[in-house]
Amino acid sequence: MPELRSVVVTGRGWLLPPGMTPAGFEDDRSSRAAGWRLDSFDAASYVGDPKVLRAMNRVFQIAAAAAVLAMRPAGLVSPSDLERAGHEPARCGIAVAMTEISPVDANLIDAVVGIGTGDQFDLGAFGEAARHSLHPFRRLMLLANMAAAHSSLLFGLQGPSFTFNSGAHSSLQAIREACWTIASGRADLMLCEAADSPENALHCQPVTEAAAALVLEAEESARRRGATLLACLQPGPEPSAPALDAAPAQLWRRHAPATAGLLAVLARLSQTGAARLGELPGLEIVPCRPAADAAPLHEPSRASGAAPRKSAP
Amino acid sequence: MNSVWITGMGVISPLGAGLEAHRIALREASCGIRYIRQFPTERFPVRIAGEVCDPTLPHAAAGRASVLLERALQEAFADAGLSLSEPSPRRALSCALGKQTVRLETLAAALAAPETDLAQEPPRWPPTFVRDWEEREPARQLDHLAGYAGALGPAYCCYTACASGNDALGMGKRLIERGEADMVVAAAADCQVNPLSLLEFDLLDALAQGEPEHACRPFDRERTGFVVGEGAAVLVLEAAEHARRRRARARGRLTGYGSALDCFGLTKCHPQGRGAALAMAAALADARRRPEEIGYINAHGTGTILNDRAESAAITRVWGTAGSVPVSSTKSMTGHLIAAAAAVEAVLTLLALDEQFLPATLNYSTPDPECPLAVVAQPRAARFQAAMSNGFGFGGQNSALILEAPE
């Protein structure tokens, strides 16, 4: 039976509106009292290159900022850090959760208004004017996978890359897939990130700006480089959609759907001292054991549907 | 680890509707790229595309992709001997759904509507305008499709630009290998042949120029870019044991999947195809195959100068020598179906495996010394058991599949 590797969390970061914390996400009163926007967010304090910032819309900026916050405690803020830590860039990947980004932005509105609204609109005239009125890179600002591209460039990640836009299930799917990718030996490090911003939506979903990120690593390589281990993650079988809908992050699903699952994990990580940090659908979070106890996992049994457990030391 | 069979396929593309139409089109090396019929293009910089020619189809911003998906799904289920009316908790869904667009005339009307107030935070729009958008969001489409396909298990929606179709198939493979599903409906659809999307692609200076049938020329020295296409494909992935139990026929096997990032730029791919080579090597390792065991590559082959050059470098790097494996780009026939491209190309690759012939690369007449590949210019018979299908996307996203003939 192939052995699965143990996966640990070595970095975490988030940006939430004033008054909100990941642990408060299940508390309806807390969320109502909190603001909805990251008012004091300054993208330049996370991403130094103005040229890079200009190619990012708001949701990519806050996603990148959360990733920077997570990679800092992991000691991996630049491509050279990754290699210094003994990581091979091709074995370091990224898993992202994003909601659909609306094409109806200020640039498109201005371009349409420039031709005429209502019955005045002339499609042919728009076609002629588009080269001058639309932003040349607007297509790239609308693609959900560009968050992965930006983080890849920021941190030097060349490994597997997944972006999920499955609505409120996205970030738990991203974390689980990242866990499995490491556990099965296809990568040694996976950056998980998610973000929501009403600025890039057409309607009232999401209603809150939020961004979160986790750094997951193979336990053996994290221990080897002396990283701080925040918790162990054990991926279980992917839950069905109804099971996910009944999951605890319900409240945040309404507020920030793409980020909800990551915030749920972050909330459990903040529960220090618990013997068992908690289960989320398809994911178990447990404290890391002393190095001497670390042992490989075994492949889960399909018949039992059980999550992979560590074998007896 | 469970091995993954493909037991049903459905496809609709500029080459026609259904497997038989595609089998004939591949044999005859037909071209599905034509002058656009969906809207007047006289004053547009883009006039050609790979369109699905059916005047009954709705606009891209009014559910065109959903209609195509349902048609492909019906064919795939019939091909797999499955009933849409029998839902299963062991059936999962893994989708690649194209980028949502907006109808410009509708936006212009919404901007003139009295309910619209852009000064509000968040801005106010007419309820019907917002509702139309919400109904087509990927998460809603995923729910709808899961219900339609009777997939009560996990439901994924992958978006990795032009690599999406491969990643949806790869996720489906992983779900079956891990024992989380007996069957995964892997579905992809994209309809970017609409005014706004075409203009956005044109701004990136990536589109081909010229007469429809000759515009897309992957790996040819005179290539100028890609041609946008539209379509959908559904592949029923099934655990081999489950398929054997219900006596299903295997169309082929999905044995390898690999994904990697270029980490080079947002629009330009790595000049040596670094991420593409990593993805191909990962797919080969996943399938436990050596490069020389692969008899054909259905290349990403968009027809852009840089992409074809980078893919050529990547193939040469993985194979060790230039021109040792036959390569073709079926995008020369279909156009580039963006998020649906890789899934449609997986179907075309499986048809080629079944028929034991190599599809053509249309318009390949002047080899480019910077693309030193064994490009297949005309369809021809060949004996091969395993093939690779590549899908690469903006942002340096790369993925590759290994598809094999039934055991």
Number of domains into which chain A is organized: 2
Question: Residues A154, A42: one domain?
Answer: yes
Question: Residues A178, A205: one domain?
Answer: yes
Domain membership flag for residue A280: no
Strands (E), A16-160: 92-98
Task: Please state, in angstroms and rounded to a whole number, the distance separating the CA atoms of residues B358 and B342.
Answer: 17
Q: Tokens representing B333?
A: 């026939």
In CATH, the number for domain B4-100+136-404 is 3.40.47.10
Q: Does B155 touch chain A (CB under 8 A)?
A: yes
Q: Are A206 and A220 in contact (CB under 8 A)?
A: no
Question: Residues A24, A125: one domain?
Answer: no
Amino acid at B17: A
Q: Find, among B255, B180, B208, the residue nearest to B407 by Cα.
A: B255
> Cβ contacts of residue A256 below 8 Å, gap of 6+?
A196, A206, A207, A208, A209, A210, A263
- Statement: residue A299 has pLDDT above 60: no
Q: Does A168 touch chain B (CB under 8 A)?
A: yes
Task: Please state, in angstroms and rounded to a whole number, the distance separating the CA atoms of residues A285 and A268.
Answer: 8
Residue tagged 């080269």 (tokens): A131
Q: Does A125 touch chain B (CB under 8 A)?
A: yes
Q: Does A137 touch chain B (CB under 8 A)?
A: yes
Q: Are A112 and B129 in contact (CB under 8 A)?
A: no
Question: Residues A256, A130: one domain?
Answer: no
Q: pLDDT value at position B343?
A: 98
Q: pLDDT value at position B11?
A: 98
Strand order across the A7-15 sheet = A161-164, A92-98, A189-196, A210-218, A7-15, A231-235, A283-286, A278-280
Q: Does A148 touch chain B (CB under 8 A)?
A: yes
Which residue of chain A is at minimal alpha-carbon distance from B130?
Answer: A203
pLDDT band of residue A168 (cuts 50, 70, 90) is confident
Question: Residues A125, A46: one domain?
Answer: no
CB contact under 8 A, A112 and B156: no
Question: Residues A28, A114: one domain?
Answer: no
Q: Which domain holds residue A133?
A: 102-141
CB pairs under 8 A between A and B: 248
Decide if B214 is catalytic. no
Return the percent helix, strand and coil in chain B, to nearest 5.
35, 25, 40
Note the ipTM here. Answer: 0.95
Question: Three-state SS string across A190-234, please?
Answer: EEEEEEECHHHCCCCCCCCCEEEEEEEEEHHHHHHCCCCCCEEEE
For chain B, counts of helices (H) and of strands (E): 13, 16
Q: Are B169 and B204 in contact (CB under 8 A)?
A: no
Q: pLDDT value at position A269?
A: 85
| Structural domain boundaries in chain B | 4-100+136-404
Residue tagged 């590759």 (tokens): B400
CB contact under 8 A, B108 and A166: no
- What are the φ/ψ torsions at residue A157 (nearest 5 degrees)? -85, 130
Mean pLDDT across the stretch B293-311? 98
Q: How many residues does chain B have?
A: 407
Residue tagged 């629009």 (tokens): B267
Q: What residues form DSSP beta bridges with A93?
A: A190
Judging contacts by C-beta atoms under 8 Å, the chain A residues touching residue B160 are 145, 148, 161-163
Domain membership flag for residue A182: yes
pLDDT band of residue A241 (cuts 50, 70, 90) is low
Q: pLDDT value at position A132?
A: 94
Write down the H helix ranges in B335-379.
Answer: 341-355
Distance from the Cα of B398 to chain A's closest Cα (Å) equals: 8
Question: Residues A106, A195: one domain?
Answer: no
DSSP assignment of B329-347? -THHHH-B-GGGHHHHHHH
CB contact under 8 A, B203 and A135: yes
Judging contacts by C-beta atoms under 8 Å, the chain B residues touching residue A198 are 122
Domain membership flag for residue A76: yes
- Statement: residue A272 has pLDDT above 80: no
Interface test with A, best of B94, B148, B261, B394 (most A CBs within 10 A): B261
Give the side-chain half-sphere CA count within 13 A for B133: 24
Share of chain A above pLDDT 90, in %: 58
Q: pLDDT value at position A304?
A: 33
Judging contacts by C-beta atoms under 8 Å, the chain B residues touching residue A203 are 125, 130, 133-134
Judging contacts by C-beta atoms under 8 Å, the chain A residues touching residue B112 are 117-119
Q: Does B40 touch chain A (CB under 8 A)?
A: yes
Q: pLDDT value at position A90?
A: 97
Mean pLDDT across the stretch A126-137? 94
Q: pLDDT value at position B12?
A: 98
Question: Residues A132, A256: one domain?
Answer: no
Interface test with A, best of B160, B241, B338, B401 (most A CBs within 10 A): B160
Distance from the Cα of A158 to chain B's closest Cα (Å) equals: 4
Q: Which of A103, A128, A240 sits opposite B152 (nearest CB)?
A: A240
Q: Does B105 touch chain A (CB under 8 A)?
A: yes
- What are the φ/ψ torsions at residue B200 (nearest 5 degrees)? -65, -40
Q: pLDDT value at position A311?
A: 33
Q: pLDDT value at position B323?
A: 85
Question: Three-state SS string across B257-324, please?
Answer: EEEEECCCCCCCCCCCCHHHHHHHHHHHHHHCCCHHHCCEEECCCCCCHHHHHHHHHHHHHHHCCCCC
- Statement: residue A298 has pLDDT above 50: no
Domain membership flag for residue A72: yes
Mean pLDDT across the stretch A50-76? 94
Question: Residues A110, A259: one domain?
Answer: no
CA angle B308, B310, B316 (to 5 degrees): 100
Domain membership flag for residue A7: no
Q: Are B297 and B315 in contact (CB under 8 A)?
A: yes
Check whether the bond before A296 is cis (ω within 30° of 0). Answer: no
Distance from the Cα of A272 to chain B's closest Cα (Å) equals: 31
CB contact under 8 A, B180 and A238: yes
Task: Please state, in angstroms and rounded to a whole number, the distance separating the CA atoms of residues B299 and B307.
Answer: 11
Distance from the Cα of B252 to chain A's closest Cα (Å) equals: 24
Question: Residues A56, A169: one domain?
Answer: yes
Domain membership flag for residue A191: yes
Distance from the Cα of B160 to chain A's closest Cα (Å) equals: 5
Mean pLDDT of all residues belonging to chain B: 96
Task: Please state, in angstroms and rounded to a whole number, the distance separating the CA atoms of residues B346 and B199.
Answer: 28
Question: Residues A125, A263: one domain?
Answer: no
Give per-residue pLDDT as tens, A91-110: 999 999 998 899 999 999 99
Question: Residues A32, A173: one domain?
Answer: yes
Q: Does A89 touch chain B (CB under 8 A)?
A: yes
Mean pLDDT across the stretch B44-61? 94
pLDDT band of residue A286 (cuts 50, 70, 90) is confident
Give per-residue pLDDT as tens, A152-166: 999 999 999 999 999
- Statement: residue B386 has pLDDT above 70: yes
Domain membership flag for residue A89: yes
- Statement: residue B384 has pLDDT above 90: yes
Decide if B300 is catalytic. yes
Task: Please state, in angstroms and rounded to a whole number, the distance separating the CA atoms of residues B200 and A54.
Answer: 17
